[in-house]
A = this chain, B = another copy of it.
Amino acid sequence: MTILEDIKAKLKQFAKERDWEQFHSPKNLSMALSVEVAELVEHFQWLKETDSFRHERATQLAIAEEIADIQMYLILLADQLDIDIATSVNDKIEKNKDRFPIESVKGRAKK
């Protein structure tokens, strides 16, 4: 069992025990994802880019929690849609290699 499968099993049990599966439609989970991402963005919104790397301990822990929340909702959403995250990521990396050939993007502004 991989890390992602292990986390998925824990999250599904957690939701089942609380009778929360009824709330976890893909539509709702996509909304929850957007909310958690914004809670992450909030930490960086007024910072200069160069100040966004290192944080006071309390902020660092809060950021780690937001990242955890995003990962958890992403796993629950993918599960509801029967999508395997690891496979999808590896497929997308291969696709991106074709889409962004090194020689054509290196040294240019990212779009």
Contact = CB atoms under 8 A, between A and B. Distances in A.
* Oligomer copy total: 4
A14 B45 contact: no
A96 to B, nearest CB: 7
Interface in A30-63: 30-35, 37-50, 52-53, 55, 60, 63
A17 interface: yes
Given A19-B107, A46-B111, A93-B11, A81 B63 contact: yes
Nearest to A19: B106
Given A93-B10, A93-B14, A70 B33 contact: yes
Interface of A: 2-4, 7, 10-11, 14, 17-20, 23, 25-28, 30-35, 37-50, 52-53, 55, 60, 63-65, 67-72, 74, 77-78, 80-81, 83, 85-86, 88-93, 95-97, 100, 102, 105-107, 109-111
